Amino acid sequence: MATNALTHRLEQTALGLGADLFGIADLEGVRDFVADQGGPALAAFPRALSVGVVLPHAIVDQLPHRDQRQVAIDYLHHAYDVINLRLDQIASGLGSLLQRQGHRAHPVPASRTVDRERLCGAFSHKLAAHLAGLGWIGKSCLLVTPQHGPRVRWATVLTDAPVPATGTPLEPRCGDCDRCVAACPAQAFTGRTFAPEEPRALRFDARKCDEYFQSMIAIDPATAACGLCLHGCPHGQRASARLRARGLTAT
């Protein structure tokens, strides 16, 4: 299958399976970073398909009231469990398509911590989405999209298919805003602007975040939800406001 035709088919398949965002990243310049996090087998792949699913704004908007059991359970179910499953199914479908076309494909789980010391997965979904031009890395270390803010979850399919990258990394657009930093109850963010050459630890203390989650899990695993950094981002709040405005206009 020709390169352009394959790219189009991959995107249409991803959207047809329920993705909201799709992009292709060139990994050639970040092989050392990928190898350090996931090992040489993952670093051997030159491309990454990035797929994103937008979180339900109506549920994210309720996060300041996450002390209410229903709010916490709705968020964990619909913004984590259901969407992570959908992302894994999309990635599996794309992997099968690539393999049928004669290419190697490695779907990366949407949400699985494999390194308990560094508290990270085998591959950075945010890295793929950033390199594919789908957003920038915010001060919360979340991927912030122009359309939906950080209210998106991601999955990745690594491949050797000769498909071109679909975009270039976006520069941070956070400016002086630090609402995500101020919103964090664990005080895990330093407020430092993303720089690709710097380690995550200069911007984010993953241990503080994990300890905060573990304290909530110890109280009640069914309601251990946070997401306040995600909720506080003005880009996501404006996306929710636009959606509400369209609904009012329609009625």
- pLDDT, residue 226, reads 93
In percent, how much of the chain has pLDDT > 70? Answer: 94
Place of tokens 């199914």: 89
pLDDT at 129 over 80: yes
Confidence band for 118, pLDDT divided at 50, 70 and 90: low
Residues in Cβ contact with 59 at an 8 Å cutoff, skipping those fewer than 6 apart: 74, 75, 78, 79
15-36 average pLDDT score:
95
Collapse the DSSP code of 210 into the 3-class scheme (helix H, G, I; strand E, B; otherwise coil) and give the result.
Answer: helix
124-131 average pLDDT score:
95
The Cα–Cα gap between 181 and 203 comes to: 10
- pLDDT, residue 11, reads 97
The pLDDT tens digits for 138-155 are 999 999 999 999 999 999
The pLDDT tens digits for 181-212 are 999 999 999 999 998 888 888 999 989 999 99
Residue pair 87/51 in contact by the 8 Å Cβ criterion = yes
pLDDT at 251 over 70: no
Place of tokens 């619909």: 78
Structure tokens at 151: 């209210």
Nearest partner of 76 among 93, 94, 56, 92, judged by Cα? 56
Task: Return the HEC string of 46-99.
Answer: CEEEEEEEECCHHHHCCHHHCCCHHHHHHHHHHHHHHHHHHHHHHHHHHHHHHH
The pLDDT tens digits for 61-76 are 999 999 999 999 999 9
Confidence band for 132, pLDDT divided at 50, 70 and 90: very high
The pLDDT tens digits for 43-57 are 999 999 999 999 999
Phi and psi at 173, nearest 5°, equal -120, 25
- pLDDT, residue 1, reads 63
pLDDT at 250 over 70: no
pLDDT at 100 over 90: yes
Provide the sign of the torsion angle of the four alpha carbons 195, 39, 167, 50, taken in this order. Answer: negative
- The residues facing 49 across adjacent strands are 24, 157
